[in-house]
Amino acid sequence: MKKTLFLQAVAKFLLGVLLVGTLIFWPAGTLRFARGWLLMGILFVPMFGAGLVMLAKNPALLQSRLNAKEKAREQSMVVKLSGLMFIAGFVCAGLDYRNGWSQLPTAVCIIGTVLFLLAYLAYAEVLRENAYLSRTIEVQENQRVVDTGMYGVVRHPMYAVTVVLFLSMPLVLGSLISFLIFLMYIPIIVKRLLHEEKFLAKELTGYAEYMKKVKYRLIPFIW
């Protein structure tokens, strides 16, 4: 079983590397896009390592993370909009580098890299805290409400972290135009989490009480 899961994970990983690389470097018109290689490195090297850790310690979680098929029509639309955002953002970053439309200073690239790596560490912590995380909205067998760690501060720490991850990507690439495109992730993820909360409050025992206990969804003391 682990061998099959490993091969499935490697296939998706390589497909992701090829897809993101194509979306960034083809529009750039060159492989000498240093910031593009920087993003590829900080994105995929930790991802590969995290995948190996999950395969060894929690293969069920890795399997659930590989399952990206949403059953709900509303959530399927959210996934499609996110995909379009990524395509447009990466392509525009490459074109921006090629044409010099809105290149950001090196300092911004460095700040973006630091934010991305910190968010990646926080993402790993969220995965450690919540073994029920999957890429689809569902209630798993014997699932319970997690209310410790970051889940004791905001109800959706995974989404909070992904907002930082995704908004730091165009900063690493040094493209203001791409950053403006990635801002669309905020309304997309808000729509998703509001729908998810309604679903979990109805289907997951104790979640309605958890919503009363932890008031903030994404940002402490704000929302």
Query: Model confidence over 106-130: pLDDT tens digits?
Result: 999 999 999 999 999 998 888 888 7
Q: Which residue has the higher pLDDT, 103 or 124?
A: 103
The token pair at 180 is: 């403006």
Q: What is the pTM of this model?
A: 0.88
Ordered by where they begin, the domains of the chain are 2-66+80-133+141-213 (1.20.120)
Separation CA 111–CA 19 (nearest Å):
25
| pLDDT range class, residue 78, cuts 50, 70, 90 | confident
> Can you give the pLDDT at residue 118?
96
Q: Are 181 and 170 in contact (CB under 8 A)?
A: yes
> Can you give the pLDDT at residue 165?
95
> Can you give the pLDDT at residue 7?
83
- Tell me the Ramachandran region of residue 205: left when phi exceeds 0, alpha when psi lies from -120 to 50, beta otherwise: beta
Question: Buried (b) or exposed (e) across 55-70, using 16+ Cβ within 10 A?
Answer: beeeeebbbbbbeeeb
pLDDT per residue over 122-170, tens digit each?
A: 988 888 887 666 655 566 666 788 888 889 899 999 999 999 999 999 9
pLDDT per residue over 23-75, tens digit each?
A: 999 999 999 999 999 999 999 998 888 777 777 777 776 676 666 555 556 66
> Can you give the pLDDT at residue 77?
79
Closest CA to 142 of 131, 158, 151: 131
Helix (H, G, I), strand (E, B) or coil at 85: helix
Average pLDDT over residues 177-189: 95
> Can you give the pLDDT at residue 74?
62
Q: Are 57 and 68 in contact (CB under 8 A)?
A: no
Separation CA 144–CA 132 (nearest Å):
8
> Can you give the pLDDT at residue 179?
98
> Can you give the pLDDT at residue 178?
98
pLDDT per residue over 188-203, tens digit each?
A: 999 889 988 998 888 8
Closest CA to 166 of 61, 68, 81: 81
